[in-house]
A and B are shown apart, each in its own frame.
Chain A
Amino acid sequence: MTALQAVRNISRLTLRVWRRDLDVYLTTWKTNFLPPLLEPVFYVLAFGLGIGSLIGDLVYQGVTVSYLRFMAPGVLAVAIMFWSFFENTYASFVRMYYQRTFDAMMATPLLVEDVIAGEILWGTTKSLLASVIMLGVLTGFGLVAYPTGLWVVPLAVLGGLLFASLGMICTAVTPNIDTFNFPIFVFVFPMFMFSGTFFPIDILPEWARILAWILPLTHVSLLVRGSTLGWYPDGAVWSLLYLTLVTAAAFLVALLLMKRRLVK
């Protein structure tokens, strides 16, 4: 009931919140564009050429692929997670707590739900922007198959929305900015390592594999990998379904918890 009401309170004005964040981003666009341009280059050099030359090829879902081709979509999946999660934790917290930007917005026709949704939308956009730039770079290295590679774009939106919402949930409950270390170490960092990003999860022991399948990033990297390789493993559609459900739930929880934090 309250969740439904909260969703209904989101209006088109939420785009004005998104636009404010975009405007700030654009005033410093040169520094903002650089990391997603350079990051994949470093990854490709270090992991692909360095470690990859030690490993050579590996077998993924019964098919032999080069380590570089295997790893490239992992880099994308990680970026989808990092950009939105960090935006809606540290950056949103600064706007909410130190700058009181949300308070200023709520003194206008915007409702608290518009503000929260706009922030999540902006976090999603950060993931989208970063992945599109990185996709371009990886395409330049010849690591993306098309047309399936284009599916990375909607996947970045879905995954971005998910990790933006999860970030917002952390912001809603964190007592201060230093406490973000906690979800990062128990949640984000393990996902970064163990979600089939840099090695296939099949080689993990069974208990770890089960855990890995629960982690949402596993499904993001599975779908992104399918897109860049040009073929999806069996059951990919379940990954899509799982992601969609978790994203919807995370968004609602983020909305309600943030509302609880902001409305006193």
Chain B
Amino acid sequence: MSGDAAVVSARAVTKRYGSFAAVDGVDFEVRKGECVGFLGPNGAGKTTIVRMVSCFSPITEGRIRVFGLDVSRSPREVKAQLGICPQEDNLDPDFSVERNLLVYARYFSLPARAVRERARELLDLMQLREKAGAKIQELSGGMKRRLVLARALLNQPRMLILDEPTTGLDPQARQLIWQRVRMLKARGTTILLTTHYMEEASQLCDRVLLMDRGEILLNGSPSNLIEREVGREVVELWNFTDEVLAFIREKGWEHETLDERVHVFLPPGDDGGREIGHRFPHQEHLLRLATLEDVFLRKAGRALRDG
């Protein structure tokens, strides 16, 4: 193991379904107290990685250690210390909200009395107290997600795994989950999450791993990646003429065409936005700060367009 601070260390990990490699020889690490996000389009292999780390899915090649334990050899020990929120909710519809927590806690062999108290705390934390006796079918999508998160915290996990924690939620519900995740992070919980949302990644993650087609393309902090891959500023142009395009090419600026819009990634310190404004006063354009989205579009844009 490389340093005792590594909570997860994956070496040359490949997962094949038949001859198709869903994850193709990736290496990564998650350090103690870190929040690491796997970012990538549909089918990139994010869930496959999560499933291997959480001992669900056998690894075809390579090795993953979690808390220093080999996931293939010690799944019980590893899972006892993980809190897992799967991509699709799997709350137990045969039980009430509170009962869901109590029954789940039994799988961890947690002492019954302590669990009652802990369940109540977690319901409070996730603003679900009034729903304690409700049926799962009566919960909104956001409430279900919060209950899944509460359930994942029952065993006081050393690492939390969140597979698309806010997909399909409205902005308020999303904010509430983000707040709670930030709070857990502040308490020192190590977090591994996957997401499609750049904003989610920039808001929550210390480090982002950009994936596409089973490979990790980029690895770094959100601000670092933005600066490194797209610079500080981006000009977006639409309804553009060939002249403008020729000008951009001539300047040697990196650019990408997507949905009839040209995104121009300006090198640091370049005043290209104003220059375009001067040369082509009638050209519709927008100068803005670069975001993680731009990194994503540049690196995985092709995959998105090809579907």
**Residues on A facing B (Cβ under 8 Å):** 11, 13, 16, 19-20, 23-24, 27, 99-101, 103-111, 263-264
Given A24-B95, A107-B84, A101 contacting B76 (CB threshold 8 A): no
**Please, how many angstroms separate the alpha-carbon atoms of A103 and B84 in the complex?**
11
Residues of A near B17 (CB, < 8 A) are 264
Contact A23 B103 (CB under 8 A): yes
Q: Mark B94-114, 1 if CB is under 8 A from A, else 0.
A: 110000000110111100000
CA distance A100 to B80 in the complex (A): 20
Contact of B54 among A27, A99, A107, A263 (CB under 8 A): A107
| Cβ–Cβ < 8 Å partners of B91 in chain A | 104
A-facing residues in B75-89 (Cβ within 8 Å):
75-77, 79-80, 82, 84, 86, 88-89
Chain A residues with Cβ below 8 Å from B152 are 107
Q: How many residues of B contact A (CB 8 A)?
A: 29
> What CA separation (Å) do A99 and B90 show in the bound complex?
6
A107-B103 in contact (CB<8A): no
Shortest distance from the beta carbon of A96 to any chain B beta carbon, whole Å: 11
How far is it, in angstroms, between the C-alpha of A24 and the C-alpha of B96 when the chains are bound? 11
For A107, list chain B residues within 8 Å (CB).
54, 56, 79, 82, 84, 86, 152
Contact of A109 with B103 in the complex, beta carbons under 8 Å: no
Residues on B with C-beta less than 8 A from A23 are 95, 103
Which B residue sits closest to A101, measured CB to CB? Answer: B92
Residue numbers in A under 8 Å from B82 (CB-CB): 107
Q: Are A99 and B79 in contact (CB under 8 A)?
A: no
- For residue B93, CB closer than 8 A to chain A, the reply is yes
Cβ contacts A to B, 23 pairs, < 8 Å: A13-B109, A16-B109, A19-B106, A20-B106, A24-B95, A99-B94, A100-B86, A100-B88, A100-B89, A101-B92, A103-B86, A103-B90, A104-B90, A106-B56, A108-B79, A108-B80, A108-B108, A108-B155, A109-B108, A111-B76, A263-B56, A263-B58, A264-B17
Do B92 and A99 touch (CB < 8 A)? yes
Contact of A109 with B95 at beta-carbon distance under 8 Å, contacts A104-B90, A263-B57, A263-B58 already known: no
B102 to chain A, nearest CB (A): 9
Among A105, A109, A263, A264, point to the contact of B76 (Cβ < 8 A): A109
Instruction: Report the separation of the CA atoms of residues A18 and B130 in the bound assembly, to the nearest whole angstrom.
Output: 30
> By the criterion CB–CB under 8 Å, are A20 and B88 in contact?
no
Residues B106 and A16 in contact, CB atoms below 8 Å apart? yes
Knowing that A103-B86, A109-B107, A264-B17 are A-B contacts, what are 20 other residue pairs whose CB atoms are under 8 Å apart, sorted by A's residue number?
Answer: A13-B109, A16-B109, A20-B106, A23-B103, A27-B94, A99-B90, A100-B89, A103-B56, A103-B90, A107-B56, A107-B79, A107-B84, A107-B86, A108-B79, A109-B77, A109-B80, A111-B76, A263-B57, A263-B58, A264-B57
Closest 7 pairs (CB-CB, A-B): A100-B90, A108-B107, A107-B84, A104-B90, A24-B94, A109-B76, A109-B80
**Alpha-carbon distance between A107 and B76 when the two chains are bound, in angstroms:** 10
Instruction: Please indicate the chain B residues that have their CB under 8 angstroms from the CB of A109 in the complex.
Output: 76-77, 79-80, 107-109
Question: Which residues of chain B are near A106, meaning CB under 8 Å?
Answer: 56
A104-B79 in contact (CB<8A):
no
Q: Are B92 and A104 in contact (CB under 8 A)?
A: yes
Contacts of B79 in A (CB 8 A): 107-110
B103 touches A20 (CB 8 A): yes
Nearest CB on A from B43, distance (A): 15
The complex places the Cα of A11 from the Cα of B76 at a distance, in Å, of: 11
Which residues from chain A contact B57 at a C-beta distance below 8 Å? Answer: 263-264
Residue from B79, B86, B88, B92 whose CB has the most chain A CB atoms within 10 Å = B92
**Among the interface residues B79, B90, B106, B107, which one has the most CB atoms of the partner chain A within 10 A?**
B107
The chain A residue with its CB closest to the CB of B89 is A100
Q: What CA separation (Å) do A144 and B54 show in the bound complex?
A: 53
Residues in A whose Cβ lies below 8 Å from that of B106: 16, 19-20
Q: How far is the CB of A204 from chain B (nearest CB, A)?
A: 43
Cα–Cα distance between A16 and B89 once the two chains are bound (Å): 21
Q: Is B93 in contact with A16, judged by CB distance below 8 angstroms?
A: no
A23 and B92 CA atoms in complex are apart in Å by: 12
A128 CA / B57 CA spacing, docked (Å): 35
Q: Nearest chain-A residue to B56 (Cβ)?
A: A106
Q: What CA separation (Å) do A230 and B198 show in the bound complex? A: 75
Q: Which of chain A's residues have a CB closer than 8 A to the CB of B90? A: 99-101, 103-104
Q: Which residue of A lies closest to B58 (CB)?
A: A263
Q: Tell me if A13 and B86 are in contact (CB < 8 A).
A: no
Q: How far is the CB of B75 from chain A (nearest CB, A)?
A: 6
Contacts of B77 in A (CB 8 A): 109
- The smallest C-beta distance from A139 to any residue of chain B, in angstroms, reads 33
Taking CB atoms, residues of chain A closer than 8 Å to B109 are 13, 16, 109
Give the distance to chain B from A32, nearest Cβ to Cβ, in Å. 13
